[in-house]
Amino acid sequence: MELQLALDLVDIAGAKDIISEVADYIDIVEIGTPVVINEGLRAVKEVKQAFPFLRVLADLKIMDAGGYEVMKASEAGADIITVLGVSDDSTIRGAVEEAKKQNTKVMVDMINVKNIEERAKEIDQMGVDYICVHSGYDHQAAGISSFEDLLKIKRVVTHAKTAIAGGIKLATLPQVIDAGPDLVIVGGGITSAQDNKRAVAAEMKQLVSQA
C-alpha cells in the first residue's frame, strides 16, 4: 500500500515547499486540477525536476481527447495521469494506448459515476493502471464519503490497482487501510497540519506501510 499527497490549493513554489517537508514519507505527489488550471503543465514539469525520485500524478480529469492529453502530460514529466470514469470508453482506451507508448500510467477517477460497481468492472477490462474512488470537495461538504464505493470496487476489480481519495485524515486512515486499497490519497489531512505536516505524513506512512 502506498501514500499519495494531493496538492490543490497552492502555486508551484508553495507545492515545492510542502513536498520538501514530507517527501521522505510519500510515494506519489499529485499536482491537483486547480494547480494545473492556474499554473499549466509547467507545474508538473517543475515538480518532477525538483523531486525526480517521486512519481508525479497530473490530475487532469481527462474527459475527451484521451490520447493527446496523456501525451502532453507525459511529455511534461507526469508518471500517472487521471481520466474520468464517466468519459467515453474510446477516451479511456485512447489514454491507455498513449500511456503505454509513453511508459506512463492511467488512473481512472470514478467521481460522479452512478453505477460504480458495474462501471469499475468495465473499466478494469480496458487496461487502466488504477481505479480511484473519490469524494470531491462538493461531496465532502455534503457529508459524502468514498469509503463504501471503495468496498464496492474492491469486489469487482481484478487487474487494476485500487485507490481512494477525499477527506482522509489520520483519524479515519485505519478504517481506510482495513478496506485494503493499493493507494491512499491524502490532501488536506496533511497540508492543513500547520506546523507538523512532516510528523503527520510520517505517521500516515507508517500506518500505510504496515498494511
75 sits in which H/E element: helix 66-75
Mean pLDDT (whole number) for 169-198:
94
Measure the CA–CA gap between 208 and 81, rounded to whole angstroms.
Answer: 23
Measure the CA–CA gap between 134 and 49, rounded to whole angstroms.
Answer: 28
pLDDT confidence tier of residue 137, bands split at 50, 70 and 90 = low
Q: 175: how many CB neighbours lie within 10 A of its CB?
A: 11
Cell 457529508 sits at which residue?
Answer: 143
Q: What is the DSSP letter of 51?
A: -
Cell 501525451 sits at which residue?
Answer: 71
Q: 114: how many CB neighbours lie within 10 A of its CB?
A: 7
Helix axis angle for 89-102 and 66-75, nearest 10°, is 30
The predicted pLDDT at position 147 comes to 85
Q: Over the chain, what is the mean pLDDT? A: 95
pLDDT confidence tier of residue 140, bands split at 50, 70 and 90 = low
pLDDT confidence tier of residue 194, bands split at 50, 70 and 90 = confident
Q: What is the pLDDT of residues 71-116, one digit of tens each?
A: 999 999 999 999 999 999 999 999 999 999 999 999 999 999 999 9
176 sits in which H/E element: helix 173-179
Please say if the pLDDT value at position 163 is more than 70. Answer: yes
Measure the CA–CA gap between 54 and 12, rounded to whole angstroms.
Answer: 16
